[in-house]
Structure 1
Amino acid sequence: MTSNFPQMLRNSPLREVIFELRFIPSQPAAGDLLPGLLYSALQKDYSDMMTLPVATVPRQIRNQNPDLKYLASHRFSSGSHSVQIGDHSVLLQTTEYPGWSEFKNKVVTLLDALKKTEIVKQVERFSFKYINLIAASESERQLQFLKVRVELPGRAPNEKGFLLREESIEGKFITVTQVAPNATAKVSTLAHEISGLLIDVDTIRQVGNEFWTDHVTLLEEGHAIAKKNFFSLLTEATLQKLDPR
């Protein structure tokens, strides 16, 4: 599915990648139990552990508020990589993407350790979120970087404050793509922010416990769909600017 797309971009616009698994726990205090249960599997790669602010919110309130329910209460981290854990979710996040093969291995290691805890009663969904920002000046017409045409009566849209959101369905996957010109982002390798065109691709798959039967294949499918959605947006000129290999 991804054979026609580059394996890498030398001028990569990828600023952050997040894998998330949501689930129904077998224990009500899963977010407090999991850090200890996962510690032996995670301590080698994620040496720092901290409690996050949402942990101070009463669990009953968190469970009743959809904006809080899936937030992490604890985080393991090391450099640009982190694992975040809550009552109903675990996620792997990085701001320095090591490439798909290595990132997938980190995801599989986390999932295998999570399954062994027997805390997951029922898998609900998994997702990959890729946050890209193509550096550009405010004077550039940034929507022209994409194979997207938006017209208003008699004029092009004002890119300041512009936001485009679209949902697409492929098989059992839903991909939510958001585009915003003149966005800003911090880059871990730089001391300052950069600005440009934001392309946020979030590929989601609702799934039950059959996820455990063939999760590696499902991860590959999700990654391939997210990758296709990103590259299919780019004009040839934009792709060459990113120096594909």
Structure 2
Amino acid sequence: MEKPFPKSITPTPIISASIEIRFDVNCPLDAVFGIVFNALRTEYNEHEPLPISTIPEQIRIQDGLIDQPHYRLFKKNSSLSILLGPKLFVFLYAKEDLNSSEDYPGWTDSLSIELKKLYSILFSLNIISKVTRLGIRCNDFFEDRNIFNHTEYNILDSEHNRKDLEKTQIIQTIEKNGFVHNVVVSNNSNFIANGIITSGSMIDIDSFTTDIKDDFSKNYEKYLNNCHETNKEFFYKMLKKDFIDSLNPIY
């Protein structure tokens, strides 16, 4: 499908979306959690340590684990949470149940607004000296479908017979518009919730950049919009228009 792309489709297939920044800090690494949690605890008032937090700091540094999340911040009965590490901040939406009435809230009207509010607080703490990476990753799940029936491409054998009718997974790394896109398309994926396994197809697009030339703390809206738009473009361009038309698009 080519532009213009829909503003939304219904039901939305997005089951998770994460927006990640990695950064350098000008304070002790073990102080980051306390400073950030104290600033955000009015809304994200619950927290839990992740297994990596129990590993001694020196080993975490030696093993390259310092860029991984150490804690989860969340509020009860919400699909939104924060994964926090000494040099990492991830804002996360995760759908817990395919049959839940709580759907993906949307980028323009929800996630970007909440994220800008969080960034405003985060950067006001003056503990981040430099942002080194921005990434947006979206996972789209299609229940009981072979997604390759709806893509702009197919895998064929030498006799031009389709090979993607069987269990198929395609993994690509593509550089475009200053971003690296790690793309995984699979017709053999599962969504697991409450012990129930639902089979279907998955499109996983992880778009990121390390090319941050100016002050991210003052220009994050520009970087966020660029990263989101290029991630969205990859999703729609790989799908046929008639398939998108079947998902009640709104332009």
Q: TM-score, normalised by structure 2?
A: 0.85
Residue 178 of structure 2 corresponds to 172
Runs ≥4 residues deviating over 4 A = 158-161
Amino acid in the other structure paired with 2:70: S
Contact 1:25 1:119 in 2 (8 A): yes
Residue 72 of structure 2 corresponds to 75
2:241 and 2:24 map into 1 onto residues whose CA distance is: 44
Residue 26 of structure 1 corresponds to 26
- Indicate yes or no: 2:94 matched with 1:95: yes
Residue 61 of structure 2 corresponds to 63
Partner residue of 1:225 out of 230, 233, 238? 230
Amino acid in the other structure paired with 1:162: T
**Paired residues, number:** 236
Residue 194 of structure 1 corresponds to 198
Change (3 A) 1:209 1:57: farther
Task: Tell me how far 1:241 sits from its aligned partner.
Answer: 2.9
Amino acid in the other structure paired with 2:172: E
Aligned alpha-carbon RMSD (Å): 2.2
Amino acid in the other structure paired with 1:200: D
1:128 and 1:218 map into 2 onto residues whose CA distance is: 11
1:156 and 1:3 map into 2 onto residues whose CA distance is: 27
Contact 1:168 1:175 in 2 (8 A): yes
Q: Runs of 5+ in structure 1 lacking a partner?
A: none
Task: Tell me how far 1:192 sits from its aligned partner.
Answer: 3.2
1:24 and 1:237 map into 2 onto residues whose CA distance is: 46
Contact 1:82 1:92 in 2 (8 A): yes
Contact 1:11 1:241 in 2 (8 A): no
SS at structure 2 position matched to 1:7 = coil
1:136 and 1:240 map into 2 onto residues whose CA distance is: 18
1:123 and 1:131 map into 2 onto residues whose CA distance is: 24
Q: TM-score, normalised by structure 1?
A: 0.87
Residue 53 of structure 1 corresponds to 51
Residue 203 of structure 1 corresponds to 207
1:12 and 1:58 map into 2 onto residues whose CA distance is: 42
2:43 and 2:244 map into 1 onto residues whose CA distance is: 34
Deviates more, 1:106-115 or 1:4-13: 106-115
Map 1:13-162 to 2 at 5 A: 13-29=13-29, 32-66=30-64, 68-78=65-75, 79-96=78-95, 97-101=104-108, 102-137=110-145, 141-154=146-159, 155-157=161-163, 161-162=167-168
